[in-house]
């Protein structure tokens, strides 16, 4: 299966369909990470905030679509989701959510070691070591899914 072709672009392969065994392994990783996050005591809203913030940074429309709906189902509000890109400038996020978002951003911008150190230290002030590890795994996993969707040009279609 191939993706729609924007003007001037070449057709892309849906790599998840082309290599289903590899994609299935990524899905299994995601399921394991979801269980690790739950076992660490991270609620679904926080996990979806991480998924959304990483997807915003990476510009993954498909993952933004999926995880916005998931965050709303988990109980988050349109108001919070609407300002997520500017989370530092609001009072709408808890200390744990703020720590998780900073850590997710540092995981996504992996080349900035100083930002990683700051985010990691701040996260350890409000999150347990299991929660810190879980947030990093959530960020790593959504980064992988972002790459799959971006490189495949997975479309976001209007609902009918």
Give the mean pLDDT per block of 10 residues along the chain (160 residues): 62 94 98 98 98 98 97 98 98 98 95 91 97 98 97 88
| Coil, helix or strand at residue 42 | coil
The gap between the terminal CA atoms of the chain, to the nearest Å, is 22
Q: Supply 116's token pair.
A: 């990683």
Half-sphere CA count of 6, side-chain side, radius 13 A? 5
Question: Residue 6: what pLDDT?
Answer: 60
Tell me the pTM: 0.92
Helix (H) or strand (E) holding 71: helix 61-74
Report the pLDDT value the prediction gives residue 11, as an integer from 0 to 100: 82
- Token readout for 153 is 């040009």
What tokens were used for 65? 């679509």
């Amino acid at each position: 299966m191939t993706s729609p072709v924007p003007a001037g672009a070449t057709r892309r392969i849906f790599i998840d369909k082309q290599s289903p065994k590899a994609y299935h392994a990524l899905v299994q990783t995601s399921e394991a990470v979801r269980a690790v996050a739950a076992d660490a005591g991270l609620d679904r809203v926080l996990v979806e905030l991480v998924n959304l913030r990483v997807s915003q940074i990476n510009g993954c429309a498909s993952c933004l679509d999926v995880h916005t709906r998931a965050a709303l189902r988990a109980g988050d509000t349109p108001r919070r989701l609407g300002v997520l890109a500017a989370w530092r400038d609001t009072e709408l996020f808890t200390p744990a959510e703020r720590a998780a978002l900073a850590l997710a951003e540092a995981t996504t911008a992996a080349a900035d070691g100083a930002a990683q150190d700051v985010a990691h230290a701040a996260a350890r002030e409000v999150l347990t070591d299991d929660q810190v590890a879980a947030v990093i795994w959530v960020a790593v996993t959504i980064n992988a899914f972002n790459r799959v969707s971006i490189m495949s040009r997975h479309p976001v279609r209007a609902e009918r």
